């Protein structure tokens, strides 16, 4: 799989265009076996999310907050490993407070 295929698959597992509309996710970026994106304000105070496909066919989710005042490094708020595709939406909602569907 190439970068775009992995990122597209991850986005579809999150809910695709409905996910983007419901959460306001923006600045989607793909890397080798991963998808990164930014978020608007949310109850979990998460500004960025990274989802990495592991060799075990599970995901690692990283939720962090970046402040743009000063030069502080990103603060990792939560990292979860060995997450199955069917659990991505629930884990996202738990960490951010943003719903992925109606």
Angle in degrees, CA 62, 66, 72, rounded to 5: 120
Q: HSE-up of 16 (CA within 13 Å, CB side)?
A: 3
Strand partners, 61: 51, 80
**Mean pLDDT, all residues of the chain:** 92
Closest to 94 measured CA to CA, from 78, 81, 82 = 78
Domain ranges of the chain: 3-96
**2 — pLDDT class (breaks 50, 70, 90):** low
Topology at the third CATH level for domain 3-96:
3.90.1150
Its pTM stands at: 0.91
């Amino acid at each position: 799989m190439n970068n775009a295929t992995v990122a597209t698959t991850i986005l579809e597992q999150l809910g695709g265009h409905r996910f983007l509309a419901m959460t306001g996710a923006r600045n989607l970026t793909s890397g080798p076996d991963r998808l990164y994106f930014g978020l608007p304000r949310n109850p979990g105070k998460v500004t960025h999310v990274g989802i990495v496909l592991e060799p075990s066919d599970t995901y690692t989710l990283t939720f962090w907050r970046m402040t743009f005042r000063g030069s502080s490094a990103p603060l990792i708020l939560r990292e979860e490993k060995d997450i199955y595709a069917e659990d991505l939406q629930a884990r996202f909602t738990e960490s951010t407070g943003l719903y992925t569907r109606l």
